[in-house]
Amino acid sequence: MLPILYSFRRCPYAMRARWALLEAGLLVKWREIALKAKPAEMLAVSPKGTVPVLVLPDGTVIEESRAVMEWALDQADPRGLRYAADAVALIEQNDGPFKHHLDRFKYTDRYPGTNKEEQRAAGLAILHSLNQRIAEQGWLLGERCSLADAALWPFVRQWRIADPEGFDNDNSLGALRSWLNRFLEDPRFERLMQRADPWDAGGQQHHFPADAVEVPLDQPLFHLALKADWQTAQASGSYRISTRGMTLEQVGFIHCSWQEQVNATFERFYADAGEVLLLEIDPSAVGAPLRADAIPTGELFPHLYGPLRLDAVRSAVTMPAAA
């Protein structure tokens, strides 16, 4: 049973929630809504009528975007987004004062008596403080992407949409612009912004992400590992290599194959790699989310969104003899 997500494509709160679902390797039943015609099924579980809303298989309703992010990252946080303890203050500044100024700058007509330039100045003051953090550290809270970065970028994107010329030509926002572009150019962005017609119970039922499927638990998975990496895993207790030369933390998941995909993967990436082992993995024992994601050709590959537990590996046999 998959959770149900009520979502709206352009809503920055729903975008941050979907980003966390992508990050954690989760698959949900996706119910895109129209804000002007919210489905009765959504209002029945969450009368406040805002998106995102996530309904878990046990009936638990999560109706705040931050709580959806936390829940998703509780399932898996393969890139370690929650390394920084001080994300909350930045998210509260964003959801409070920054969103206040953004709305009034963007939709001044809807707020009688509001001065657009004052709102711009107040919003820019916050953006400049974000810019300074990124210029100093690379990301908002350190050298890596954090929960705060993942929670804020959709709102900075909205500010840019409200004033593209101002945002793009402001010399004091250079670091923030390149930070925003990291998200917009990430392959996850396209998946995040997939389109669907508003949901109705009798119509087509989609998953989010729309290009992913569940991994069957009754078919073994395979992973090619350099012998040295496998030996390191024996010593440390878990295997954390995504693919040749890249770690789980760098990529966000561990690449796996189904049996019929192993030889092509070996030929393409590992044929000259020295001693390579073929790990056979029991998908029902991995203890972290699995999701089959499409590569650009459309072919689906199973991905493990967490470290590989050694006890989920049924065998490790030298390639190519194993093939």
Ligand X SMILES: N[C@@H](CCC(=O)N[C@@H](CS)C(=O)NCC(=O)O)C(=O)O
Which residues contact ligand X (rule: CB under 6 A)? 8, 11, 13, 35, 49-52, 64-66
Q: How many CA atoms lie within 13 A of 236 on its CB side?
A: 13
Angle 302-306-312 (CA atoms, 0-180°, nearest 5)?
Answer: 75
Query: 110 vs 268, which CB is nearer to ligand X?
Result: 110
Tell the smallest beta-carbon distance from residue 67 to ligand X (Å): 8
Angle 187-138-296 (CA atoms, 0-180°, nearest 5)?
Answer: 10
Tell the smallest beta-carbon distance from residue 33 to ligand X (Å): 8
Query: 50 vs 232, which CB is nearer to ligand X?
Result: 50
Nearest to 22 by CA among 66, 68, 72, 83: 72
Helix and strand tally (H, E) in the chain? 13, 16
Query: 36 vs 268, which CB is nearer to ligand X?
Result: 36
Instruction: Transcribe 172-201 into DSSP letters.
Output: GGHHHHHHHHHHHTSHHHHHHT---PPP-T
Tell the smallest beta-carbon distance from residue 85 to ligand X (Å): 21
Query: 11 vs 24, which CB is nearer to ligand X?
Result: 11
Tell the smallest beta-carbon distance from residue 151 to ligand X (Å): 9
Q: Please tell me the distance from the alpha carbon of residue 276 to that of residue 262, in angstroms, as a whole number.
A: 12
Query: 13 vs 71, which CB is nearer to ligand X?
Result: 13
Tell the smallest beta-carbon distance from residue 197 to ligand X (Å): 18
Query: 150 vs 278, which CB is nearer to ligand X?
Result: 150
Query: 69 vs 221, which CB is nearer to ligand X?
Result: 69
Query: 103 vs 282, which CB is nearer to ligand X?
Result: 103
Report which residue's Cβ sits closest to ligand X. Answer: 11
Instruction: Transcribe 37-81 into DSSP letters.
Output: B--HHHHHH-TT--S-EEE-TTS-EE-SHHHHHHHHHHH--TT-G
Neighbour-count burial of 293, counting CB atoms closer than 10 A to its CB (0-12 exposed, 13-18 middle, 19+ buried): buried
Tell the smallest beta-carbon distance from residue 168 to ligand X (Å): 24
Q: Catalogue the long-range contacts made by 105-108 (C-beta closer than 8 Å, 24 or more residues apart).
A: 105/159, 105/162, 105/163, 106/158, 106/159, 106/162
Q: How many CB atoms lie within 10 A of CB 168?
A: 10
Query: 13 vs 105, which CB is nearer to ligand X?
Result: 13
Neighbour-count burial of 142, counting CB atoms closer than 10 A to its CB (0-12 exposed, 13-18 middle, 19+ buried): middle
Tell the smallest beta-carbon distance from residue 215 to ligand X (Å): 29
Tell the smallest beta-carbon distance from residue 32 to ligand X (Å): 12
To the nearest 10°, report the CA torsion of 177, 179, 185, 189: -110
Strand partners, 206: 30
Tell the smallest beta-carbon distance from residue 9 to ligand X (Å): 10
